[in-house]
Amino acid sequence: MNHSTDVAVATDRASKRKEEKRNRLLAAARKLFVSKGYHETRPQDIAKEADVAHGTFYSHYTDKREIFLAFASSAQEDLHSYVHSRIPKVDTFEEYIRYSLTAIQEFAEQNPGLLRSALVDTKVFDPTDSTSKEVRSRFAAGFIGQLRNGCKNGELYEDIDPDLIGHAMMGLIQFSAPMAYRKGQSREEYVNHLSRFLTRALVKSPKTIK
């Protein structure tokens, strides 16, 4: 093995070790942000949980805010992928809402405490961050598309603003889903309550549908 090959192998190993430590830090941050919250979690706590030196934290992340943004972005991607993969083609707005809410609750049950972080607007922590906007917009796009279709086909009231209501629905889910989980409410109860609320607010009664 020549010198250049030795250097390449050593560089590759160092790169893998660095990536492995970064992943450990992110996993530790995820655990602590969920269990303790943002304000009660310190960089040294994250380093300790990841079993790395305190200084190692700063070789990967500038500060707590930066690793929180990375954590929130990862949680958002996980939620989007999970929910999107579990919504089949549907014919009505109510069906879409029921499938969406069921998938969101399944995600919350499988990842206790993660849902609120997955739906947080990271611009609260960094006004220049665009990741959250992109992910949240993709997530809201499903609601917005169904709202637009419902308005066009007469299922929903025509004076609904799909973009506004679509994003408002995300806020409603962000705070109601964790509350239902903490109350010990079953998935079916939560889905029934929220789908009834949204259906009654947005869907025309059978007598008014043309």
At 150-205, the pLDDT tens digits run 999 999 999 999 999 998 998 898 888 878 878 888 999 999 999 999 999 999 97
Which of residues 157 and 119 earns the better pLDDT score?
A: 157
- Least reliable range by pLDDT among 11-20, 32-41, 77-86: 11-20
Distances (CA, A) of 198 to 22, 152, 164, 201: 42, 18, 14, 5
Chain mean position to CA 21:
24
Tell me the pLDDT band of 207, cut-offs 50, 70 and 90.
Answer: very low
Q: Whole domain around residue 23: which residue ranges?
A: 1-61
Cα torsion angle, 179, 184, 188, 189, sign: negative
Residue 66 lies in a domain: no
Same domain, 54 and 77: no
Q: Which residues of 39-67 are buried (b: 16+ CB within 10 A; e: fewer)?
A: eebebebbbebbebeeebbeebbeebeeb
Q: Is the pLDDT of residue 124 over 70?
A: no
Q: Which two tokens stand for residue 159?
A: 């004076």
Task: Identify any residues that bridge with 203 across adjacent strands, giving them in sequence order.
Answer: 156
Same domain, 47 and 117: no
Report yes or no: 80 and 51 within 8 Å, Cβ to Cβ: no
Overall number of domains in the chain: 2
Residue 172 lies in a domain: yes
Same domain, 53 and 8: yes
Same domain, 44 and 133: no
Same domain, 118 and 44: no
pTM over 0.85: no
